[in-house]
Homo-oligomer: A and B are copies of this chain.
Amino acid sequence: MSIVVINGSGREGGNTETLTRLALEGLEFKEIVLREKQILPIVDQRHTPGGFDPVNDDYDAVIQDMLAADVLIFVSPIYWYNVTGLVKNLFDRWSQSLRDPRFTDFKEKMAKKKAYAIVVGGDNPRIKALPMIQQLKYTFDFVGLPFEGYVLGQASKPGDIQNDRRALAEAAWLNDQLKALVNV
């Protein structure tokens, strides 16, 4: 069972990453740090004769890693009540993959995985991040990816997440879930 963490954080060592470390403790995983990749905004050629032109950036490598995983953990600080632009550009490019002859089994592969999300924000996220969770659900549903759960934390300044007891309990829950999957 292989785990891939898609890290959409805009800085290193922030609260979202701290919470992710706790959730992944004792587990092997591959981490894709989106801020170290170049993933360009989609050029929407869904209705262009000839379809999408190839794009010369890191997207293909990232999606190959994602498709090879059994578990996908989407990690994002909550910027403006939403995933970061780094994560959003990745999702947007899925529209290209869904029409890519190399990925005709995109949805079939996604359907066999399990997805989790870890998100942390500063402005009342247990209320104001709920639309974001609903969007993730719709997004994963569209590609048939089972959304198995999320960890939602509140933190602003570095280190704050250690004070969010509910988030820490959820991270411990996720850690156990993942360990149970590994041991199946």
User: Which A residues have a C-beta under 8 Å from some C-beta of B?
Assistant: 9-11, 14, 35, 41-48, 77, 79-86, 88-89, 91-92, 94-95, 123, 126-128, 130-135, 137-139, 142, 147, 149-150, 157-158, 165-166, 169-170, 173
Contact = CB atoms under 8 A, between A and B. Distances in A.
9 contacts: A11-B47, A14-B47, A41-B84, A79-B88, A80-B91, A80-B142, A85-B92, A126-B133, A128-B138
A134 B130 contact: yes
A136 B137 CA distance: 18
A60 B139 CA distance: 32
A169 B11 CA distance: 30
Given A10-B41, A11-B45, A82 B135 contact: yes
B81 A89 contact: no
A84 B95 CA distance: 12
For the complex of A and B, the 4 pairs showing the least CB-CB separation, nearest first, are: A10-B44, A131-B131, A85-B89, A169-B169
